[in-house]
Amino acid sequence: MDKEQARKKIEKLRKQLNEHNYKYYVLDEPEISDFEFDKLMKELESLEKQYPDLAAPDSPTQRVGGEITKKFNTVKHKYPMLSLGNTYSMEELTEFDTRIRKTIGTDFSYACELKFDGVAIGLVYKKGRLSQAVTRGDGTKGDEVTTNVRTIKSIPLRIYASNLPDEFELRAEIIMPHKSFIRLNEEKQKNNESLFANPRNAASGSLKLQDSALVAKRNLDCYVYGILGKDLPFESHFENLAKAREWGFKVSDLTTRCNNINDVMDYIEKIEKKRTSLPYDIDGVVIKVNSYAQQEQLGYTSKFPRWAISYKYKAEQGITRLLDVAYQVGRTGAVTPVAILEPVLVAGTTVKRASLYNADKMEELGLHYADTVHIEKGGEIIPKIVEVKKDLRSPDAKKIQFASHCPECKTKLVRNDGEAVHYCPNSDGCPPQIQGKIEHFISRRAMDIEGLGEGRIEVMIKNKLITNIADLYELKYDQLLGLEKIVTDEITGKQKKISFREKTVNNILNAIEKSKEVSFERVLYALGIRYLGETGAKKLARHFGGLKQIKESSFDDLLAVPEIGERIAGSIKDFFDDERNIEIVKRLEKSGLQFEIEKIPETSKSEQPLKGKSFVVSGVFERYSRSQIKELIELKGGKNISSLSSKTDYLLAGDKMGPEKKRKAVEFNIPIISEDDFELMITT
Active site residues: 115
49: CB partners within 8 A, 6+ apart: none
CA distance 275 to 284: 9
Note the maximum CA span of the chain.
91
E strand or H helix at 653, and its extent?
A: strand 650-653
* β-sheet bridge partners, residue 170: 123, 227
Helix, strand or coil for residue 213? helix
- In sequence order, what are the beta bridge partners of 334? 423
Task: Give the C-alpha distances (Å, rounded to integers) separating 603 from 256, 606, 628, 631, 639.
Answer: 68, 9, 12, 11, 17
Dihedral, CA atoms, 82, 86, 90, 91, nearest 10 degrees? Answer: -100
Please report, in angstroms and rounded to a whole number, the separation of the first and last CA atoms in the chain: 31
Which residues have CB under 8 Å from 582's CB, separation 6+?
576
Report d(CA 249, CA 158) in Å as an integer: 11
Name the phi and psi angles at 354, rounded to 5.
Answer: -145, 140
Cβ-contact 558, 572 below 8 angstroms: yes
Conformational region of residue 626, where left means phi above 0, alpha means psi within -120 to 50, and beta covers everything else:
alpha
β pairing state of 282-289 and 110-116: antiparallel
Residue 525 contacts residue 534 (beta carbons within 8 Å) = yes
Q: Report strand pairing: 484-488 vs 422-423.
A: unpaired
Closest Cα to residue 576, out of 535, 530, 537, 541?
A: 530
Backbone angles phi, psi at 33, to 5 degrees: -75, 165
DSSP 381: T
Q: CA–CA separation, 475 vs 626, rounded Å?
A: 29
Distance from C-alpha of 264 to C-alpha of 113, rounded to nearest angstrom: 10
Asked if 319 contacts 374 with a C-beta cutoff of 8 angstroms, the reply is: yes
Would you say how long the chain is, in residues? 684
At 78, is the secondary structure helix, strand, or coil?
Answer: coil
